[in-house]
Structure 1
């Protein structure tokens, strides 16, 4: 069927229809088809969280997890339930952020422009040799997707506003000495116990499992014995890296690139300024008179740095003689920039300049002329750039050819492989999750298990795995999901049932022993009958590795022993055995105070306060969630 569609899509009628559709879009506008579609994944009050917002947050969080946990996260991401919870967590975090934004607006929390500028200049990411570097700043924010400095400033303003509220909540919490004493006393508590371990293994020999038991378990638990759907594919891989190895780059190519991109290799003229600021306050005339007087002194030869230290309202720069370091256009106020960059000789001083901050006089203190790197100095770098650029251009060209031929000849990959100089390869068996790259990519897996590949047995459309890798694939072999036959899993089920029944018998015996023990009977003989005896452990700690974790946990759950009443219970151990446990004594721990514990406790209280605050905001807000589209898996 699909092959017929492919053939008919080349006909005159199909082309006429396609032309009409294109004209419809041209006259009506694509926006009229899309603007009415709500693609948001959630709405908090009147503010929407778009699919794009979600995709960006999802990918950022996924990248952080992959960086932190490495291959372990690859394993986790193969679990559909885990990734569903992961997506839900990302969405809830975005909702929390919107709630915080509403709260900061209601509380009128603001961050000034000056504070944002100062923060940017002090961020170590934007510094070179301990000083703010505007070129590095612009390069890094562009790399992060902020193509206008105003976009980054707006982003930073939101983040700093949220942080102010967060810090205000955290700073309000503290830990009292008596709380620390109580908690450390509990943590340092010790207990004396005795326990008897009843092995379930000894009962396995006496357990009977019938064929009917096995069959019943199989029928009731068939979901536990599923073979996953899997496919083996033939594929062509087109890679920029492979193309780059074969690309020829001439000396003329390098020279041409250098000349066309000379701006990349030149350092613009740089200027360093000092300034003196007088704030206007309530008396503009007085401020103007003061700055004019200072300007007269500076022009008459008095030390500008001394004047700045004495008079400048910008105390930070004033302490350094008014030094503002190296400044690029656009960092300061427009009026300031205009006056400052009009200065052309070192030592020259501007007239009085008025900005929103007050009156300034500006001095040019250092000047670095424009510099251009020689071609020889950057030749190797250009070689790499040109080689990659040519490879990417060839990659795009071959990608189009591979797409065309795999479509026109849908029953084979050989024609497409020959045209792009590739070869047809065969994958290992692929399942829906847990494959190695590039078959861990969601787009590749969607194609591998699609009807056109599996059922129609045709070539897939071209799959752009990333900017440097494209695939086309077709089915080599397919195995549908199915339930393993009973004969294959019979022994496995028998082993499971024997273990379950042996553990159940051990539980019953342990419960009988506990009843007799609490009634005051001596159970030594009964324990010996099941190859067990009491083992005494004194001064066990709440946290430690000397005991089975389940025994230690239960020991600290049991009540303090009192005269006439036993504090005892049964425990299922980590290895599946049962234990009869008694707490014979409780020794109170010594309370202790230390700065680390106090800090940790305060942090725990702060986290609880923050969560309560968010919960309260959620209760007051109208929150609507929609299905999260899983396109985010395709990054």
Structure 2
């Protein structure tokens, strides 16, 4: 066949077609074939927010929500309406960030390189033993996805600039004493109430629901009566823990590992030292003369600790007689380190040592020689370490092998399973949430319900469930989402309609009671018909009451009662019943304890409102265009 293609490509017809193609490119221009479609998700004053920026923000926000809310978020994520709002929220945040960046640029807000360096040096994650460590810093930012330190510094600069702008706006706000007093009075206010509860259930026995009503409700609310889509999977797993059971570690393996990692089992030489420091400052000669005078006093027999406490510029160690506790080689300044480890006997004091901090006298107060744990003492630890390491190496090897074979033979898992020595297993029916491990993992669910597995019926890519478990899955059986039959949900719908009508009747009865009370009529007979009575509660607080939260909230919305005005309302309670609530008295608690933080809290609230207002003003003045359809290119 290839020979025929080659021969036919030399014919007249093929040459004519090729000529047309060349002519088309010449006339239209190659650029018309290569112009990319605008995939930006929004444009802010002419600046485009790219799909890549959205995807990164979307994944970060989704991962954060998944970690914070677990299975609850996965349930929400199955709701397309919720996820559409979620994606719009991500775009809103990106638009706000772009507006703040543009405003910062217009206001010439800048953050210096030195400020950024100092900020980074103070981040605990980049420190070792309380000091900034460059190797740790580079490793950490690589884990965060910043492979150039300049990229990380730029991200910090952007974040700090935005915060400076926010703080500049928020710092203009303040709270006045009278506002704090008003808020304190409102928060400590108490009210006397009387309320009657009208149970909705008492109306249910007389309510009738027709078949037509049930059918109409079913047709209008079919989305509420759907069976979830379900999938059954064939799968193979590569499990470090299972691999470890097959690993046989020889004595030679243990000895080789011990020798290769001897530093892990060696405690280097340690010395405990004290020092006296005289800072050089501007007069270096005077400082050196002072330290030499102290040396002479020590040689004459004076106590090192006493002189350190009296004279050392290092006041923190000086309080403890100059003690610096235990140090290892390389921990201190080079000159200090060399002098400290040159001391041979406990009690020896060095000659004068000069460092960048000034002049020192160093005393050896204790000593620990280098020690190496013998192989016999760590053999059990080594056995676990070596077997785990070998299992991990085998795990990566098998993972790569399984991934390659499941890709090369995409319509079966048998080849991959045979190559890595595992069985193909079949899952139970799975939905998008509520499954047992490992099928509760969002990466597994993402693969299981992907078009690759569900529609094309091919093997998934390798799924790294955790550091010790990987999987490949493929479709065994699929059941799409479908609407339950009316007969199947008739009783459920009838119960819903009965409850709905019962609550409406309870609401009507409550409103009649409110109208009667406002008209000054007596309602005892009506309450008796409704199996309800008024209960009285005195000194109900705005927060922390044992009463229904909706009832209390409604009571504190009502105005103060007056002699000629009954202050009453109805409210649906959390359990679905209705309540009629009347406020009979309002009491301001003058003895309530004043919160020392209330002014600060109020100022923070006002400042946050001001900043939100500032952002809304930026949006109102900006030219903002949003994509009509926003999708994440790598949705789970």
Change (3 A) 1:578 1:237: same
Structure-1 residue corresponding to 2:192: 192
Question: What is the correspondence of 1:499-518 to structure 2 with a 5 Å cutoff?
Answer: 499-518=499-518
Distance 1:427 1:91 in 2: 40
Does the residue aligned with 2:536 lie in a helix, a strand or coil? strand
Contact 2:268 2:328 in 1 (8 A): no
* Structure 1 residue 379 displacement after superposition: 2.0
Contact 2:42 2:95 in 1 (8 A): no
* Structure 1 residue 238 displacement after superposition: 1.3
Distance 1:208 1:418 in 2: 64
Q: Verify: 1:428 aligned to 2:428, yes or no.
A: yes
Counterpart among 326, 338, 341 of residue 342 in structure 1: 338
* Structure 1 residue 488 displacement after superposition: 1.7
Structure-1 residue corresponding to 2:279: 278
Contact 1:265 1:373 in 2 (8 A): yes
Unaligned runs of 5+ in 1: 1-36, 67-72
Change (3 A) 1:208 1:600: same
Does the residue aligned with 1:437 lie in a helix, a strand or coil? coil
* Deviation by residue 1:392-428 (Cα, 9 ceiling, x = unmatched): 1222232233334434544443443333232222212
* Structure 1 residue 448 displacement after superposition: 1.4
* Structure 1 residue 107 displacement after superposition: 7.8
Structure-1 residue corresponding to 2:75: 78
Question: What is the correspondence of 1:555-594 to structure 2 with a 5 Å cutoff?
Answer: 555-593=555-593
Distance 2:609 2:304 in 1: 53
Question: What is the correspondence of 1:485-634 to structure 2 with a 5 Å cutoff?
Answer: 485-593=485-593, 597-599=595-597, 602-603=600-601, 605-606=603-604, 608-609=606-607, 612=610, 616=614, 629=632
Question: What is the correspondence of 1:399-418 to structure 2 with a 5 Å cutoff?
Answer: 399-418=399-418
* Structure 1 residue 38 displacement after superposition: 11
Distance 1:42 1:562 in 2: 56
* Structure 1 residue 216 displacement after superposition: 2.0
Does the residue aligned with 1:538 lie in a helix, a strand or coil? strand
Change (3 A) 1:195 1:41: same
Change (3 A) 1:270 1:63: farther
Does the residue aligned with 2:362 lie in a helix, a strand or coil? strand
RMSD of aligned residue pairs (Cα, Å) = 5.1
Contact 2:65 2:73 in 1 (8 A): no
Unaligned runs of 5+ in 2: 1-37, 344-348
Change (3 A) 1:85 1:142: farther
Contact 2:270 2:329 in 1 (8 A): no
Structure-2 residue corresponding to 1:9: none
Distance 1:424 1:306 in 2: 76
Structure-1 residue corresponding to 2:257: 257
Change (3 A) 1:567 1:214: same
* Structure 1 residue 207 displacement after superposition: 2.7
Question: What is the correspondence of 1:413-492 to structure 2 with a 5 Å cutoff?
Answer: 413-492=413-492
Contact 2:180 2:598 in 1 (8 A): no
Distance 1:545 1:392 in 2: 57
Structure-1 residue corresponding to 2:17: none
- The count of residues paired between Structure 1 and Structure 2 equals 569
Change (3 A) 1:262 1:477: same
Question: What is the correspondence of 1:167-186 to structure 2 with a 5 Å cutoff?
Answer: 182-186=182-186
Does the residue aligned with 1:585 lie in a helix, a strand or coil? strand
Distance 1:378 1:514 in 2: 81
Change (3 A) 1:618 1:513: closer
Question: What is the correspondence of 1:94-133 to structure 2 with a 5 Å cutoff?
Answer: 106=110
Structure-2 residue corresponding to 1:12: none
Distance 2:139 2:569 in 1: 61
* Structure 1 residue 546 displacement after superposition: 4.0
Distance 2:359 2:41 in 1: 48
Change (3 A) 1:390 1:446: same
Contact 2:571 2:580 in 1 (8 A): yes
* Structure 1 residue 442 displacement after superposition: 3.0
Does the residue aligned with 1:574 lie in a helix, a strand or coil? coil
Distance 2:83 2:379 in 1: 46
Distance 2:217 2:158 in 1: 55
* Deviation by residue 1:291-346 (Cα, 9 ceiling, x = unmatched): 221343255454666665555554434444555545567776xxxx3322332412
Structure-1 residue corresponding to 2:354: 352
Contact 1:433 1:440 in 2 (8 A): yes
* Structure 1 residue 220 displacement after superposition: 1.9
Distance 2:541 2:113 in 1: 48
Does the residue aligned with 2:378 lie in a helix, a strand or coil? helix
Q: Verify: 1:363 aligned to 2:359, yes or no.
A: no
Structure-1 residue corresponding to 2:68: 65
